[in-house]
Amino acid sequence: MTQTYKVKDEYGNTIEATHENTLVKLILILNDGTKRFIGEIDKQTKILKLKRTREKHLMRVNNSYGINYFLIETGQLFEKVEITDDFTSWTISKDYLIDNCIIMNFKKQGFEVQKFITIEALDLYKNN
């Protein structure tokens, strides 16, 4: 049975979580109706899976990837985060991200308080 939950931010943007058996699909719906796929949670392994394209998603100023602050700080269905880009993948604990990321706020762009982790820090958690 599919269930969908929605959480709205102060700017009218929504995170939509659709539960389908062992997966939770996460979509960001901006207040203008634009949708962005965030990632998915594997409920059995308790891993939030995120895909990134280095050319598009890498914050070049500090060589880092952003992760939605709200998900990391409040997510209860996962304990680890797997980030995969076009070169490699990393699996890191949610607790590490809570304690060690740089926080940046991109106002009014949709749940855009982000936690950033550098590629160098991620490389300590590279999957083989």
* Beta-carbon contacts of residue 88 (< 8 Å; ≥ 6 apart): 126, 127
The residue ranking higher by pLDDT, 110 or 76, is 76
* Beta-carbon contacts of residue 37 (< 8 Å; ≥ 6 apart): 25, 26, 27, 28
pTM of the model: 0.90
Instruction: Tell me how crowded residue 63 is: count the other CB atoms within 10 A of its CB.
Output: 13
Per-residue confidence (pLDDT) for residue 108, from 0 to 100? 56
Per-residue confidence (pLDDT) for residue 113, from 0 to 100? 80
Average pLDDT over residues 33-42: 95
Q: HSE, CB side, 13 Å, CA atoms: give it for residue 1.
A: 1
Average pLDDT over residues 70-89: 95
Average pLDDT over residues 44-53: 97
Per the prediction, the chain carries an average pLDDT of 91
Per-residue confidence (pLDDT) for residue 12, from 0 to 100? 83
List strands edge to edge, sheet with 102-105.
64-68, 113-118, 102-105
Per-residue confidence (pLDDT) for residue 110, from 0 to 100? 54
